[in-house]
Amino acid sequence: MLDVGDGHRIYVEQCGNPKGRPVLVLHGGPGGGCSPFMRRFFDPAHYHVILFDQRGCGRSTPSASVTANTTQHLIADIALIRERMGIGRWLLFGGSWGATLAMAYAEAHPDHVTGLILRGVFLGTTAELDWFYGGGAARFFPELWAQFQEPIPTAERDDMIAAYHRRLFDADLGRQGRFALPWLMWENALAGLQSAPVSHAPADYARAFARLENHYFLNRCFLDEGQLLRDRARIEHLPVVIVQGRYDMVCPPATAAALAQGWPGADLRIVPASGHALSEPRISAELVRVMDTIRDEDREAKGA
């Protein structure tokens, strides 16, 4: 548990080879937290893997807190973790919101990054949020969109993020919980190509996930509009591999294509018959392939 100030303590773990190539894993959400599954993309004999639960989620405390919880705070936390662990430069591995945070951190600290592996790219733009919360994705999932809208009065449905915010941040904890689950259900139901709609989740997890994600999205991820593409030149000297599901309904492939276009070291891999989730079989297999290729290239370079 690392004290990062502002009343926050964040959970940090490391695994693999302490002398291996450092790689930082950035989970999605915001608010998702890390899981043991996220360790499995890295050969433990080769990689020094660092994972952490971002402020307010997972095992970090206080749970579901949005106080002093912005993208800039998370970038500072990552910088502190790197410093405390004595790591000079590291690979960044993140998907969805994790890809957003990886880009934001890399652009803030390009000298501390050796490359990026991104999945299901999300850049925190208004167009992306409008797609998911303004009716775009609803054209493909009208029945699930209706379930998402159902708890909100008709007069407030023109801004679903703001409508849910009023309820997720109500003083009544019970009311927060009642609105956390439908928020979580809408995203989870669309994450996998073959996903069945989620009807339940641990209450504490749902509350933390919904509050944090809603807080970040209400504030447009604490980024200027188009900031990550605008400042891409700061990291264009770095290699990036982008693994993107062809039928990703949460973060459509157009965003990944826009990020890769004109980036000399970009390797965009559109994965067929796949959606958004890290656990999608073809997505997982491709990410393992990417990390094994980097491992093999490292070994070859040392041998040479």
Region of poorest pLDDT, from 19-28, 42-51, 91-100, 190-199: 190-199
Could you tell me the CA-to-CA distances from 256 to 123, 248, 252 in Å, in that order?
9, 11, 8
Measured distance between the N- and C-terminal CA atoms of the chain, rounded to whole angstroms: 40
For 168-187, write each residue's pLDDT tens digit: 999 998 999 999 999 999 99
Domain residue extents for the chain = 2-125+223-303, 127-221
For the chain, give the number of residues: 304
Of the candidates 53, 112, 215, 248, the residue annotated as catalytic is: 248
Q: Does 200 score more than 80 pLDDT?
A: no
Which pLDDT band, with edges at 50, 70 and 90, does 202 fall under?
confident
Active-site residue flag, 60:
no
Q: Which pLDDT score is estimated for 304?
A: 56
Q: Domain 2-125+223-303: which topology?
A: Rossmann fold (3.40.50)
Of the candidates 27, 48, 53, 96, the residue annotated as catalytic is: 96
pTM of the complete model: 0.96
For 55-75, write each residue's pLDDT tens digit: 999 999 999 999 999 999 999
- To which H or E segment does residue 270 belong? strand 266-271
| Mean pLDDT value across the chain | 95
For 135-145, write each residue's pLDDT tens digit: 999 999 999 99
Question: Considering the chain, what percentage of its residues have pLDDT values greater than 90?
Answer: 93
- In this prediction, residues 238-259 reach a mean pLDDT of 98
Classify 90 as helix, strand or coil: strand
Which pLDDT band, with edges at 50, 70 and 90, does 272 fall under?
very high
For 18-49, write each residue's pLDDT tens digit: 999 999 999 999 999 999 999 999 999 999 99
Active-site residue flag, 96:
yes
Of the candidates 27, 46, 215, 276, the residue annotated as catalytic is: 276
